[in-house]
Structure 1
Amino acid sequence: MEKGIETKGEESDLVINLGTEKRLREKLWNINFILLLQGQLVSIFGNTVYDIALRFWILDKTGSTALMGLFMAATVLPEVFISPFAGAFIDRHDRKKILVITDAISGLAIVLIGIAAMTGALKIWMILLVGIIVGICSCFFNPTIDSSIPDIVPKSKLLKANSTFSLMTTGNDIAGYAFGSFLVQIIGAPIVFLFNGISFLFSAATECFIKIPKIEISLEDSSFWEDMKAGINFVKNAKGLKYLYVTISFLNFSASMSMTLTLPWFKMNNQLGISQYGIAMAINTFGMFLGFTSLSILELKKENKFYAFIWSGITTAITMIIFSITLNFHLIAVLFFINGFSIAITNSLIQSSMQNSVPSNMRSKAFAFSRTLSSALMPLGMVIAGVLGERININIVIFADYAMYLVLFIYLSFLSNVKEIINI
C-alpha cells in the first residue's frame, strides 16, 4: 500500500515538473529573447541618431545633397548583391558568432569615424567606406536575427515576438528622430558618431550571452554553392512562400513609389503643405506603432490570420486610393492612421508565416532572398515614380499604384496555398 502511494506521488511530481517545463517553453519573455531585443534597441536608437548626425555633417561640410544620396546608396547596394550569399553562409555557421562579430565590426568602424571627426581628419571617402562596411554587416546581421527568433521563442508566441520587435523598432525610430536633431545641436555630430559606435559594441557584448540553437547541417554532403542552390530551389518550389515574396516585393515597390510622391503632392497643393506632411507621416507611424502593439498583446487565432492578412492588405490599398482623390487634411490624417495600422498587421503576419513555414536550415537564405528583392525594387520604384510624376498627375500615379496592390490582395484571397502558409 505504501508502495502504491509512493508511485502515485512520483507520478504527481512528474506531471507538475512536465507542466512547469511546458510553461517555461511557452514563455515569450525568456532571457534569450530579452537579450536579443535589448541589444537591437540600443543599436537601432544609436543608428537613427547617427543617421541624422551624418546628414547634418555632410550638409554642413559640403552642402551637397548628392553626396548624401550617394552615402544612402552605398549602405543599400550591398544588401542587393551580397544578401543571397550571406543567407547560405549564415545557415552554415554559428548564428550567435555572426551577430557578435558583425555588431563589433560596425561598432569599431563607426568609433573610428567619431575619432576622425573629433580630430578634424574625417573625409567623405571614409564615410562612404564605413557606410559600405556597415551595409555589408547588416546583410549578415538582419537575416540572422530573422532566422533566430523562431528558435528562441515558442511557435505559439512567434507572431507576438515579431510584433514586439517591430513595435520596439518603430518606437525606437520615433525616439531617435525626436532626439536626434536635439543631440546633434547640443553635443555635436562627432560625439554622436562615438555614441553610435559604442552602442554597437554594447550590443555585441550582450549578444555573447544569447543561446541560439545551432542549425543541423551536414557540411560534408554539400558545398557552399550547392547549399545556396538548394535554398533557391526551396523558395522556387514552395508555392505559398513564392506568393509571400511577391507580396513583400510589391509592398516595398508600392511604398517606395508613394513615399517618393507623397511629399511633392503635399507641397504642390495649398490645402496641404509641408507642415501637414510632417504631421501626416507622424500619424502614419503612430498607426503602425499601435498595430504592432495590438499584435504584441492580443492572441490572434490561427484560423483568423489569413483573413486579417487579406483585409489589412486591402485596407492599405483603399486608404491610399482615397488619399489620391482628396485634399481634405482631416480625412487624410484618418486614412494615414488606418494605413499605418494595416501595414503593421500585414508585415507581422508575413514575417511570422515565413519563419513558421521555412525549416531552420533554409530560414536565413529565405530571408536573405526576401531582403534582396525588397532592396532591389525600392530604388526602382523611386525612379519610376519620379519619371511618371513629371509626366502624369501625381495623384493618378498613386491611384494606379495602389489599384494594382488592391488587385493583388483580391487575387491572394482566392489562393488556398497562401491561406495555408499564413494560418500555420
Structure 2
Amino acid sequence: MYQTSFNFIKLVTGQAVSVFGTSLLRFALSLYVLDITGRADIYATLFAVSSLPVLFSPIAGALADRFNRKSIMVGLDLTNGLLSLLLLIAFLFNQTSIFVIAVAMILFGFVGAMDTPVVTAIIPGISTSDKLESANGILQGVQSLSGIVAPVLGGLLYSSIGMKNILMIITILFFLTALLETRILVPQNKTEYSGNIIKVLASDLKEGFHYTLTHSFIRKTMLLSVGLNFALTPLFIIGVPYILRVTMNLNTGLYGIGIGIMEFATILGALLIGVVSKKIRVSNFYLWILFVAILLIPMGMSTLPLLLQYGTFPAFALFVFSGVPLSACLSIISIFAISKIQKVTPSKNLGKVMAIIMATAQCVAPIGQILYGIGFETFENRAYIPIIITFVATILLSILSKLLYRNEKDI
C-alpha cells in the first residue's frame, strides 16, 4: 500500500510539472507573439491551433497499449525538455519568428495530447480499484489548477524575468520530471508484434474503435460524454464570461472573482469525488445530470432584467450560488464516467479506449462554443434564452441516461 501511494505521488508530481510547464509556455509564447506583432487575431489563432493536436490522441492510446507506458511517459517529458531547450537556443541566437513559435506551440500541444491517454492508462495499474475515483479526481484537480495558475504565473514571469529565463527554468524542470518518472513502478504492458509498425498501429486503432463502439457500457457512456461536452462545457467557456462581463456588466475585479470561483468549484468537485463516489451509481447517474439541469434554473434567473434592475450584486450572488455546485457536479460526473470506463476496459485496450473517448468528446466542444457565441449574440439582452435551451438539452440527457443505463449493472 505504501509503495502504491508513493508511486501515485510521483505520478501526480510529474503530471503537475508537465501540464503546468506546457500550459505556462503556451501562454507566455502567445504573449510574446502579441508583443512582437501587436495583433490579437494572430495571438488568438496560435493559442487555438496549439490545441488541435488532441485529434491525434488516439494514436497515443494505441502506442500506450502496444509499448511500455512508463517509457512513453518518460520519453514525452524528455521530448518536452528537448523542445524547450531548442526553443531556448533559438531565442539566445535571435532566430525566433512567428513560424518558429507556431511550430513550437503545436509540438508542445501534440506532446500534451499524447501524454494524457498514456497517464490515464497508467492510473489503474498503480491505484487500487476502490481508490480509482479519488486518484482520477486528484489528477484532474491538478490539471484544473494548472489551467488557472499557469496563465497568471506565466504573465507575471514573462513581464519580470523574460522569455529566455522562463524557457531555461521550464527546460530544467522537464528533464527533472522525466528523471523522477523513471522511478515510478508501473506494471509491464509491452506487447510483441511483427511486421510494419504503421500497419500494426492502424490495426490496433481499428480494434480500439471496434471495442469502444461494441462494448455496451462504454458506447453509452461515450454518447453521454459527447452530449454533456457539447451542451454544458461551452457554457462555462463562452457563456459564463459573457454573462458576468456583458449581461451583468461587472467591473474587472468582480469579473475576475467570478471566473476564479467557478474554476475553483471545478477543482473542488475533483477533490470531493472520493467522498461522493459511494453515493453515485450507474443506476442513479441520471439524477446527477438532472441536478445539473435544476441548477441551471437559478443561473438563468440571475440574468433576468427584473433582477438586474436591483444592481449587479444580487444577480452575481445568485449566479455564484448556482454556478459553484453546478461546476463541481460536472467535474464529479466526468471523473465518475472515466473511472467506470477504466474499470471495465482490459489493460490491453485501455489507452486506445480512453484516448478515443476524450478526443471524440473534445471535438464537439468547439461546435458548441460557436453555437453559444451565436446564441448569446442573438439574444444579447435576453441571456436567459440560451440557458433555457441548455436546460432543456440537459433534461433530455438525463432522460437518455436513464434509458441507456436501465439494464446496466452497477460497476
TM-score range, shorter chain: 0.7 to 0.9
Give the Cα separation in 1 of the matches to 2:19 and 2:44.
Answer: 21
Q: State the AA in 1 paired with 2:15.
A: Q
Once the two structures are overlaid, the 10-residue window that deviates more, 96-105 or 225-234, is 225-234
Deviating more after overlay: 53-62 vs 69-78: 69-78
- Structure 2: distance between partners of 1:122 and 1:115: 9
Q: Could you tell me whether the CA contact under 8 Å between 1:280 and 1:336 is conserved in 2?
A: no
1:347 matched to 2:324? The reply is no
Q: 2:296 maps to which residue? A: 320
Q: 2: CA distance between counterparts of 1:74 and 1:271?
A: 30
Distance 1:216 1:122, change over 3 A: closer
Cα displacement string for residues 332-373 of structure 1 (whole angstroms, at most 9, x for unaligned residues): 111121122112211110111111111111111111111221
Question: Paired residue for 1:197?
Answer: 171
* 2:159 equivalent among 150, 172, 185: 185
1:154 to 125, 128, 135: 128
Contact 1:309 1:345 in 2 (8 A): no
Matched, 1:141 2:115: yes
Q: Which residue in 1 is equivalent to 2:204?
A: 227
Distance 2:83 2:93 in 1: 16
1:107 aligns with 2:94: no
Contact 2:16 2:146 in 1 (8 A): yes
Partner Cα separation in structure 2 for residue 28 and residue 346 of structure 1: 29
**In 2, distance between residues paired with 1:307 and 1:282?**
33
Distance 2:144 2:150 in 1: 10
Does the 8 Å contact 1:76/1:375 carry over to 2? no
Identity within the alignment, %: 25
More deviation in 189-198 or 56-65? 189-198
Give the corresponding residue for 1:13.
none
Which structure has the bigger radius of gyration? Answer: 1
Alpha-carbon separation, structure 2, partners of 1:268 and 1:168? 30
Structure 1 window deviating more from structure 2 (409-418 vs 65-74): it is 409-418
1:129 to 86, 99, 103: 103
Aligned-CA RMSD value:
2.5
1:87–1:366 CA contact under 8 A, matched in 2: yes
CA deviation after TM superposition for structure 1 residue 130, in Å: 1.2
Check conservation: 1:239, 1:417, Cα contact below 8 A.
Answer: no
How has the CA–CA distance of structure 1 residues 312 and 274 changed in structure 2, closer, same or farther, with 3 Å as cutoff?
farther
Q: 1:243 maps to what in 2?
A: 220
Q: Structure 2 CA distance, aligned partners of 1:52 and 1:218? A: 40
TM-score, normalising length: structure 1: 0.85
**Please, which moves more after superposition, 117-126 or 143-152?**
117-126
1:61 to 26, 31, 36: 36
Give the direction of change, closer, same or farther, for the CA distance of 1:114–1:220 in structure 2 (3 Å limit). closer
Could you tell me which residue of structure 1 aligns to residue 322 of structure 2? 335
Report if aligned partners of 2:60, 2:115 keep a CA contact under 8 Å in 1.
Answer: no
Q: Any conservation in 2 of the 1:33–1:152 contact (CA below 8 Å)?
A: yes
**Bigger mean CA offset, 125-134 vs 183-192:** 183-192
In the TM superposition, what is the alpha-carbon distance from 1:404 to its structure 2 partner?
Answer: 0.4
Matched, 1:363 2:350: yes
Q: 2:263 aligns with which of 285, 292, 312?
A: 285
Name which of 389, 397, 420 aligns with 2:386: 397
Matched residues, number: 394
How high is the TM-score relative to the length of structure 2?
0.87
Q: Is the 8 A contact 2:26 2:105 kept in 1?
A: no
1:43 corresponds to: 18
CA offsets per residue over residues 210-267 of structure 1, 9 Å max, x none? 2222226453599333322221111111122112112222222221254223323333
SS in 1 for 2:282: helix
Moved more, 163-172 or 32-41: 163-172
* TM superposition shift of 1:308: 6.5
* Residue equivalent to 1:276: 254
| Structure 1 position 170 matched with structure 2 position 144 | yes
CA deviation after TM superposition for structure 1 residue 83, in Å: 2.3
SS of equivalent residue, structure 2 residue 368: helix
Once residues 417 and 363 of structure 1 are traced to their aligned partners in structure 2, the CA distance between those partners, rounded to angstroms, is: 25
SS at match of 1:244: helix
Q: Which portions of structure 1, spanning 4 or more consecutive aligned residues, are displaced by more than 4 angstroms?
A: none
Paired amino acid for 2:261: I
1:407 aligns with 2:396: yes
Structure 1 range deviating more: 264-273 or 117-126: 264-273
CA contact (8 A) 2:8 2:127 kept: yes
Alpha-carbon deviations, 1:21-51, whole Å to 9, x = none? Answer: xxx3xx6853321221111112223233323
Measure the CA separation in 1 of the matches of 2:246 and 2:142. 34
Deviations 1:352-402 (A, max 9, x none): 111111111111111111122123212222222223333344432232124
Deviations 1:51-110 (A, max 9, x none): 332232121111122212222233222221x22333222211111111111111122112
CA distance in 2, matches of 1:112, 1:29: 36
Conserved 8 A contact 2:14-2:181: yes
Secondary structure at 1:223's aligned position in 2? helix
Distance, in Å, in 2 between the alignment partners of 1:229 and 1:198 is 38
Q: State the match for 1:259 in structure 2.
A: 237
Q: 1:174 to 1:77 in 2, by over 3 A?
A: closer
Question: Does the residue aligned with 1:120 lie in a helix, a strand or coil?
Answer: coil
Partner letter of residue 386 of structure 2?
Answer: V
CA distance in 2, matches of 1:271, 1:129: 38
Q: Which runs of 5+ in 2 are unaligned?
A: 304-314
Residue aligning to 2:312: none
Could you say what secondary structure the match of 1:256 adopts? helix
Q: Distance in 1 between matches of 2:378 and 2:265?
A: 32
Letter in 2 for 1:269: T
Unaligned runs of 5+ in 1: 1-23
CA distance in 2, matches of 1:279, 1:355: 36
